Amino acid sequence: MTHLQQNNFSVGSDNGLDTAAVKQRWGIPASMQGCHTGVWRNQYVFEGHVPARLIRKFLANPPKDSIGLSVPGMPKGSPGMYRGGEFEPYVVYQIQRDGEYRFYEKVTAPEAS
């Protein structure tokens, strides 16, 4: 959330939600799940540590039949997980309406705050 706030996103948090139910409602495949789920205007979902710049890119031109983006797991180089030092590149996936997913972009350098 800090990364998003630092990148001029207005965010809220509801720690009382059943996140498993939210992930199921949005059809996020088990292999694409992360530790956080964000929903934008009840239209798109952003799962895990997705960089703010890629959320903006996606929202500017949402791919056909896509419901959002995902960074599964907790990659060391992703926003909120990078503490300086060694960086490990990671992949951001596009989640499709039919439950499939595909490559969206590989992040090869730490994201600025």
Instruction: Compare 5 and 76 and report the one with higher pLDDT.
Output: 76
User: What mean pLDDT do residues 72-78 have?
Assistant: 81
User: Is residue 88's pLDDT more than 60?
Assistant: yes
- Helical segments of the chain, H only: 2-6, 19-26, 52-60
User: Is residue 68's pLDDT more than 70?
Assistant: yes
User: How high is the mean pLDDT of the chain?
Assistant: 82
Q: How many residues in the chain?
A: 113
User: What mean pLDDT do residues 45-66 have?
Assistant: 91
pTM score, two decimals? Answer: 0.82
Q: What per-residue confidence (pLDDT) applies to 8? A: 59
State whether the Cα torsion 53-110-67-13 is positive or negative: negative
